[in-house]
Chains A and B, each alone.
Chain A
Amino acid sequence: MASLTLSPAEHDFITRGVESGFRSDGRGSLDRREVTLRIGMISQANGSARCRVGNLGVGTDILVGIKSEVNPWSPSDGVPENSGTIVCNVDCSPSAAQEFEGRGAEELNVELTQLLDRIFNGPQSGIDLEKLCIIPKQAYWILHVDVLVLDVKGGIVDALVWATRAALMSTRLPRVVVESIPDEDGVMQAEFDVVDDPEDMTELVGVENMPMAVTFFQIGRRFVVDPSEQEEAVSQARMTVAVSPSMDICAMQKGGVLRGFSPALLSEIMQSAQNVAREEFERFKKLYSEARSQTLDRMDEPSTGSTFLVPF
């Protein structure tokens, strides 16, 4: 997505390499780069995660913070009366690439925001949104998923979903007590109270069913996943497939303006998406539990700049 100018020779080298099954960094076409994951580094947020795809110091770097908010229900919000909602927002920081300065990232922000919303806001995300309803037709939780893209080195969509998944899994909501109180006319009215106790927090329900995104980039007549910056500059089209742990397809979206996909390539992509996602779920589980144990270890230490930066 970040525009990188390549010489025709480089362009040709990468395209032919991918077509014959070789990539410049030695990976296979469906292999991913190394992922670093940390959770819970932002104390003010209900959940947070930072994810870097690529080698130390150079890679796509995503920071996600989740803030919860109680919102009074109104029919014009478009939120069902017995459910809560997730609101996504992606912001590509100008520190990631020069062209993001000013309004340069506007289109990319809109595209990524809507894509993330399509994956996470709704029953397809696996999260039980009905549990985010406090009192039907009165009040519900909004989870604001705010994503900051700190560095872009290819494969931004998958990294975005990795980080958002981790952040939602680490999210803790304060407990809410609902009670019925009679008003002046003796009619019972439901009222709620948010328990202000950092120990008394609940996890989101159904986070284990969240989908994983696999994005395929078409290069020449073949495709790769998790492209490097150069590979992404060469690719003509991309296809994001979000796959749930039960191997259902939760969302699909094409991107890129240069080309379309042939039906044969499309069915191959659908097959590969499930295989890649299966491996990804395993890898995510392992990295998340590592990140979690590290967060628990640091609990007693004061939060310093180094806890935020060291692994990155």
Chain B
Amino acid sequence: MSTNIIDRRRINGPQRSVEPIYAKPVVAFSGDGRADGRLPESVRPIFMRTGPISPQASSAASPSGSAYYEQGRIRISCAIYGPRQGRKANPRMGIFNCEFKYAPFSCSWKRSHLKTSDEKEIGLMLEQAVSPAIRLEVYPKANVDAFVTVIESDGKAATISAAINCISAALVDAGIELYDSVAACSVALSKDLQWVFDCTQQEEDAASCSFLMARMPSVDEVTYLLQHGKTTPKQTADAIHVCTNVSTQVYAVICRHLKETLEGKNESDQ
């Protein structure tokens, strides 16, 4: 017994200690510059990987394709299942379903682990944005399901557009027949009435209007458009114009990554 007696009041810390690393203070969003020093029209750097969720051998339960996507602090993963038999069936064409989920720890406040109506709506938006790109007529009676998990989010519109980009990459990885990849981008109207690209949560809260656009650049078709907030018709037309340019750039990034992945795959096959 006596050997177990230790002084519990003494802090048994290490001999040497170091100062903790503090988070950098974030400067509030003001008209004359962005908190992270970006230009108004610049998008946070994009990182993506296709196929992070490895298909298990001999298992129908593994995804046919997957992707991981990072854009600044936004982290999203997506898995595609199908074409497979599903709940709903249309004898003439396939159905694309999308389930969108924020992880409980993905936002500055705690998210519910149950699906909220907000998440249901974003799932619908993603379906509406991505479906026009899929050749659904070649998958009659089948379902293609996408499961999107937001690991970390920063700005609602930016997260939705990142999810769209992530799904497009995962669809290519799954080998689903597409007309084109969908590339999305978001802008918000800052205090000095300028469209600012790819806003963080803080910038979005200060903005009076947020705007989201998804398009298929090589067929030049706008597959999704969402505006929340008031603008003049001229400003909306401007937003469409600038989003067209930037979505083409985002598209180039997605395509370059997919091409590199494909080339890498071919090399390893040989």
Contacts and interface: CB of A to CB of B under 8 A. Distances in A.
Interface size class of B (residues with CB under 8 A): 20 to 34
Contact of B221 (A114, A244, A259): A259
A50 B127 CA distance: 32
Contact of B233 (A106, A113, A118, A270): A270
A221 interface: no
B250 interface: no
Given A248-B232, A251-B228, A263-B240, A257 B222 contact: no
Nearest to A211: B230
A248 B235 CA distance: 10
Contact of B128 (A122, A251, A255, A267): A255
B117 A254 contact: no
B225 A259 contact: no
A28 interface: no
Given A107-B120, A249-B231, A263-B220, A254 B237 contact: no
User: Taking chain B's interface residues, is the majority helix, strand, or loop, or is none over half, making it mixed?
Assistant: mixed
Contacts, number: 95
Interface in B98-131: 109, 117-118, 120-121, 124, 127-128, 131
Interface string A159-181: 00000000000000000000000
A292 to B, nearest CB: 27
A252 B226 contact: yes
Interface string B204-227: 000011000001100011111111
A266 interface: yes
Contact of A261 (B120, B222, B227): B222
A303 interface: no
22 contacts: A111-B121, A111-B124, A113-B117, A114-B118, A122-B228, A123-B208, A124-B229, A239-B225, A244-B230, A249-B231, A249-B233, A251-B228, A252-B226, A253-B225, A253-B226, A254-B226, A257-B128, A260-B216, A260-B221, A263-B240, A267-B240, A270-B236
A260 B223 contact: yes
Contact of B227 (A247, A249, A257, A263): A249
A174 B231 CA distance: 33
Interface in A77-130: 106-107, 110-111, 113-114, 118, 122-124
B81 interface: no
A262 B223 CA distance: 9
Interface of B: 96, 109, 117-118, 120-121, 124, 127-128, 131-132, 208-209, 215-216, 220-233, 235-237, 240, 244
A262 B128 contact: no
A111 B228 CA distance: 14
Nearest to B130: A257
Contacts of A270: 233, 236-237
Contact of A266 (B120, B209, B222, B235): B222
A239 B222 CA distance: 11
Contacts of A249: 227, 230-233, 235-236
Interface in A35-73: none
A223 to B, nearest CB: 13
A239 B118 CA distance: 20
A114 B230 CA distance: 16
